[in-house]
Amino acid sequence: AQSVTQPDIHITVSEGASLELRCNYSYGATPYLFWYVQSPGQGLQLLLKYFSGDTLVQGIKGFEAEFKRSQSSFNLRKPSVHWSDAAEYFCAVGPGGSQGNLIFGKGTKLSVKP
Amino acid sequence: NAGVTQTPKFRVLKTGQSMTLLCAQDMNHEYMYWYRQDPGMGLRLIHYSVGEGTTAKGEVPDGYNVSRLKKQNFLLGLESAAPSQTSVYFCASSSPLDIREIYEQYFGPGTRLTVT
């Protein structure tokens, strides 16, 4: 069965520091890959997506993610974190097929120190 | 353009009571989804619909029913609420212009449900 693992439940970084959130997936083929962000009390907002092609994808709010097939990973990065980036981040996999159901990781909560 | 809206935002139920959560989208999307979010569990799919009049079960459908009588609305019903259904419920929609865009889902703000 497909699965998504986000190994870090909670990460704290200082404002201005770089950030990398890890995501590993288990799937036979190359899935569609997504990162969503959820601010406190809000719904989920799509940060970026990977379908095929260039393995480094750019998203909104200065985020990027790199797909590494050999490691089954899709890690999210940002060179300089802002206090407003404090939120929960979810990696998700779209396994293909016509249903469209996303499989989510359990999330990584990001705290930002001033 | 409101996107995806959910009604109500908060609700407290007693065990055994019933209720319906309403999801509405104004983007003319074909696909709609109901997820539940529990601490440390991420989001899990309850039911989904690929078009008006059609529904299907997701990962955790037990205790829930859904209906899609109109393209823009997707209702989630709890016939006899249980404390295990205390959760935050999210509705999402997507438009299958191609197979990839099915997965690009737009989420509503959520409904926080507590069952006592």
* Record: contact B102-A42, CB cut-off 8 A: no
Structure tokens at B84: 């295990």
Residue A38 pLDDT level (bands cut at 50, 70, 90):
very high
The burial class, CB within 10 Å (0-12 / 13-18 / 19+), for B17 is middle
Q: What is the pLDDT of residues B4-61, one digit of tens each?
A: 999 999 999 999 999 999 999 999 999 999 999 998 888 999 999 999 999 999 989 9
Question: Which chain A residues are within 8 Å of B111, Cβ to Cβ?
Answer: none
CA distance A106 to chain B (A): 4
- Distance between A32 CA and the closest CA of chain B, angstroms: 7
Neighbours of B65 (CB within 10 A): 14
Work out the minimum CA distance from A16 to partner chain B, whole angstroms: 28
The pair of three-digit structure tokens given for residue A5, joined into one six-digit string: 């693992």
Residue A104 and residue A91 in contact, taking contact as beta carbons nearer than 8 Å: yes
Give residue A99's pLDDT: 67
CB–CB of A104 and B94 under 8 A?
no
Query: Of the candidates A111, A110, A101, which has an alpha carbon nearest to the alpha carbon of residue A4?
Result: A101
Cβ neighbours, 10 Å, residue A42: 13
Tokens of A107: 């999330």
Question: What pLDDT, in 10s, does the model give residues B75-85?
Answer: 999 999 999 99
Q: Is the pLDDT of residue A52 over 90?
A: no
Q: What is the mean pLDDT of residues A54-78?
A: 95
Residue A88 belongs to what H/E stretch? strand A87-94
Q: Do B109 and A107 touch (CB under 8 A)?
A: no
Helix, strand and coil content of chain A, in percent to the nearest 5, comes to 10, 50, 40
Is the model's pLDDT at A100 over the cut of 80?
no
Q: Write out chain A residues lying below 8 Å of B48, CB-based.
A: 99-101
Searching chain A, which residue's CA lies closest to the CA of residue B39?
A: A106
